[in-house]
Amino acid sequence: MTVKTRFAPSPTGYLHIGGVRTALFSWLYARHHGGRFVLRIEDTDRERSTEESIQAILTGMEWVGLDWDEGPVRQTERFARYAEIAESMLRAGTAYRCYCSREEVEAMRAAQVARGENPRYDGRCRDRRAPVPGVSPVVRLRSPGTGSITVHDLVHGDVPFDNAGLDDLILVRSDGVPTFHFGVVVDDADMGITHVIRGDDHLTNTPRQIHILQALGMPVPVYAHLPMILGADGARLSKRHGAVNVLEYREQGYLPAALLNYLVRLGWAHGDQELFTRAEMIRLFDVASVNAAAARFNPEKLAWLNQQYIQRGERGYLAGELATHMARRGVDARQGPPLAAVVDAYRERAVTLEDIVQASGYLFVEPVPLDEKAARQHLKAAIAGPLARARERLVVLGDWRRQDIHDAVTAVAAESGLGFGKIGQPLRVAVTGGTVSPPIDVTLELVGRERTAARLARALDYIAAQPA
RNA sequence: GCUCCCUUCGUCUAGCGGUCCAGGACGCGGCCCUCUCAAGGCUGAAACAUGGGUUCGAUUCCCAUAGGGAGCGCCA
DSSP string, A10-39: -SSSSPBHHHHHHHHHHHHHHHHTT-EEEE
In chain A, positions 353-412 with C-beta closer than 7 Å to nucleic chain B are 406
CA of A241 and C1' of B70: distance in angstroms?
20
- How much is the pLDDT for A290? 94
State how far Cα A168 lies from the chain centre: 37
Query: Tell me, what's the ipTM?
Result: 0.94
Question: Quick check: A109 CB within 7 A of strand B?
Answer: yes
Of A182, A108, A107, nearest to A138 (Cα)? A182
User: Of the given ranges (A71-80, A110-119, A192-201, A440-449), which has the lowest mean pLDDT?
Assistant: A110-119
Q: Which residue is nearest to nucleotide B23 (CA to C1')?
A: A272
Q: Which of A217, A219, A215, A220 is nearest to A96 (CA)?
A: A215
At A96, give phi and psi (nearest 5°).
-145, 165
Mean pLDDT for the stretch of residues A134-155:
90
Q: What is the pLDDT of residue A242?
A: 72
A280-328 pLDDT, tens digit each: 999 999 999 999 999 999 999 999 999 999 999 999 999 999 999 999 9
List the catalytic residue out of A239, A301, A373, A380. A239
- What average pLDDT does this structure show over A164-170? 89
Q: Does residue A119 lie within 7 Å of nucleic acid chain B, judged by its CB?
A: yes
A247 CB below 7 A from strand B atoms: no
Structure confidence by residue, pLDDT tens digits, A262-288: 999 999 999 999 999 999 999 999 999
Residue A199's φ and ψ, nearest 5 degrees, are -70, 150
Confidence of residue A108 (pLDDT cuts 50, 70, 90): confident
Taken in order A449, A450, A453, A458, the sign of the CA dihedral is negative
The answer to whether strand B lies under 7 Å from the CB of residue A138 is yes
- pLDDT at position A38: 96
Q: Structure pTM?
A: 0.92
pLDDT above 80 (res A116): no
Nearest nucleotide (C1') to alpha carbon of A295: B12
- The bridge status of strand A138-141 relative to strand A170-172 is antiparallel
Cα angle vertex A315, ends A311, A321, to 5°? Answer: 95
Give the SS3 label for residue A236. strand
Confidence class for position A349, pLDDT limits 50, 70, 90: very high
Strand B positions closer than 7 A to protein CB: 1-8, 10-15, 23-27, 34-40, 68-76
H helices present in A93-162, as ranges:
102-114
Nucleotide nearest to A427 (CA to C1'): B35
pLDDT digit string (tens) for A246-257? 999 999 999 999
Query: Rounded to whole angstroms, what are the CA distances from A155 to A39, A151, A289, A294, A402?
Result: 22, 11, 7, 12, 55
For residue A245, give the 3-state DSSP assignment: strand
Is A373 catalytic? The answer is: no
Q: How far apart are CA A451 and CA A447, in angstroms?
A: 6
Report the distance separating Cα A50 and Cα A59, nearest Å.
14
Question: Is the C-beta of residue A461 closer than 7 Å to nucleic acid chain B?
Answer: no
Q: What are phi and psi of A288, to 5 degrees?
A: -60, -25
pLDDT of residue A49: 86
Given a contact cutoff of 8 angstroms between Cβ atoms, the answer to whether A271 and A204 are in contact is no
pLDDT tens, residue by residue, A184-207: 999 999 999 999 999 999 999 999
* Residue numbers in A 190-229, CB below 7 Å of strand B: 200-205, 227-228
Does the C-beta of A165 come within 7 A of strand B? yes
Q: What is the largest CA-CA distance in chain A?
A: 107
What is the per-residue pLDDT for A468?
65
